[in-house]
Amino acid sequence: MEKSDSGSLVFWGVALLVIPLWLISFPETTVRNNLNPFLVYSSQITALTGFSMFALTFVLSARWKWMEDYFGGLDKMYHLHHTMARTALVLLLIHPILLASRFIPGELDKVFWYLLPVHRKVEIDFGSWALWGLILLMLVTIVIKLPYDKWKITHKFMGVFFILGILHIYFLDLSVSANPALAIYLAALSVIGVTAWVYKSVLFDWVIEKPRYRVEKADSLNEEVIEITMTPENERVRFIPGQYFFFSFQDSDLSRESHPFTVCDKSDDGHIKIMVKVLGDYTKQLYRNLKPGAVALLEGPYGRFDYRKGKPKQVWIGGGVGIAPFLSWAHDLEQQEYPDYNIDLYYCVKTESEAIHLRLFKEVEDKMKDFHVHLVREDVEGLLSVHDISGVQAKEIFICGPKTMREALVPQLKKNGVPKAAIHYEDFDFT
């Protein structure tokens, strides 16, 4: 098993460990009525499994850099976070529905009231408040779709609802006191979850040292893309070519939210460059309002997108501002005096005018024997197809570009015999 695969397996294993721990003693329920024991036990299993996944989502979103190697990148951690969060919500919702079903068919009105925080015991209400809080936040995320900076504030309340869930479990004492192993497991997850939430939501900006850079230039490359050049004010950042940082710009005309951007160039004196494409409200603000003199705070680096870990024969596929890591790699090839790689770069654009960095790649092509640039213009050649790439089965594939491009190419690559382990990309749609 690859090291980068172990993280997901461990987290799913830890989350599902609650089931055998619960089964060790097959606990007696504390619910005193004629409810079918199957419904009681099923409700407990779904509740405890949902709780364990809920706890682990805080760990996955804490952005602890040392964990990246075990997942293959921060994007993989965030996608697991989203999957576990959705699964936890479903399981936690099933829990009261199973208990409320005891009133079917005779007392249907009580089914509705049971799901609300109007119980005689406040410890049961803790669970209802926690569940409805989660539902509200999910509605804000999926249906209302608040601006990112507003959504991020609401998301901080997840920890409050998690603590209500802890109080619900321990005040009800559902099977915990009778099962020491389960009690220790739930206590550990409670502490880990709350610690991760406090770290990320409260302490993060205080405990993480963020290098300060000052914007020197913000050049409009076309009507949608700007290139931002920054110089260090204190320490210089160190990173592997292709990695990204979370940037937050301190300017009265900009919101303080942070977003990930790949560093596409660095110089010996510490200057760095990033490219930003207008994709939403925040990037539109940057394009319109960012001026020289603004201070940028950097958090990172993150990412495991590294051509140097691949086979000598490689294919690089970049689309739009997804060309950024390949720019960083091209500069790295120059600094290494053109090592022994055989690389085909496919630069995918809508029109040739968008290929704003083509000259740099052409310069590398002129100096490096086995570096070949292929410009793929949608209005001339059409969209890139796997059939346009020769000998693809024997090569390492690196893709960075729009989600639609990746979703079109990856299935084609697998269908044409490229192993999953040889296809590399990072999905920035995780914030």
Q: Is the pLDDT of residue 227 over 60?
A: yes
Whole-number percent of the chain with pLDDT over 70 = 93
Query: 168: closest CA among 122, 126, 121, 118?
Result: 126
Choice among 2-11, 190-199, 273-282 with the minimum mean pLDDT: 2-11
Predicted confidence at residue 396, as pLDDT, reads 95
Confidence tier at 191 by pLDDT (50, 70, 90): very high
Cβ(205)–Cβ(183) below 8 Å: no
Q: Which amino acid appears at position 21 of this protein?
A: L
Q: Is the pLDDT of residue 307 over 90?
A: yes
Predicted confidence at residue 36, as pLDDT, reads 66
Q: What is the mean pLDDT of residues 384-393?
A: 90
Q: What is the mean pLDDT of residues 327-349?
A: 90
Q: Model-level pTM?
A: 0.88
Predicted confidence at residue 246, as pLDDT, reads 95
Q: State both tokens at 1.
A: 């098993």
Whole-number percent of the chain with pLDDT over 90 = 58
Q: What does the pLDDT look like over 138-186, one tens digit per residue?
A: 787 767 767 777 777 788 889 999 999 999 888 876 556 678 889 899 9
Predicted confidence at residue 323, as pLDDT, reads 94
Query: 116: closest CA among 90, 97, 139, 142?
Result: 97
Angle between helical axes of 180-198 and 158-172 (0-180°, round to 10) = 160
Predicted confidence at residue 106, as pLDDT, reads 67
Confidence tier at 431 by pLDDT (50, 70, 90): low
Confidence tier at 4 by pLDDT (50, 70, 90): low
Predicted confidence at residue 248, as pLDDT, reads 93
Predicted confidence at residue 31, as pLDDT, reads 47
Predicted confidence at residue 339, as pLDDT, reads 77
Confidence tier at 29 by pLDDT (50, 70, 90): very low
Give the chain's domains with CATH numbers.
Answer: 3-206 (1.20.120), 212-302 (2.40.30.10), 307-425 (3.40.50.80)
Query: 259: closest CA among 179, 184, 147?
Result: 147
Confidence tier at 399 by pLDDT (50, 70, 90): very high
Strands 313-319, 259-266: pairing is unpaired
Question: Which residues lie across from 423 on neighbouring strands?
Answer: 397
Q: Is the pLDDT of residue 32 over 50?
A: no
Choice among 90-104, 111-125, 277-291, 396-410 with the minimum mean pLDDT: 111-125
Q: Is the pLDDT of residue 108 over 80?
A: no
Output phi, psi for 400, to 5 deg: -145, 120
In angstroms, the CA 392 to CA 394 distance is 6
Q: What is the mean pLDDT of residues 198-220?
A: 92
Judged by DSSP in three states, 297 sits in strand
Predicted confidence at residue 2, as pLDDT, reads 58
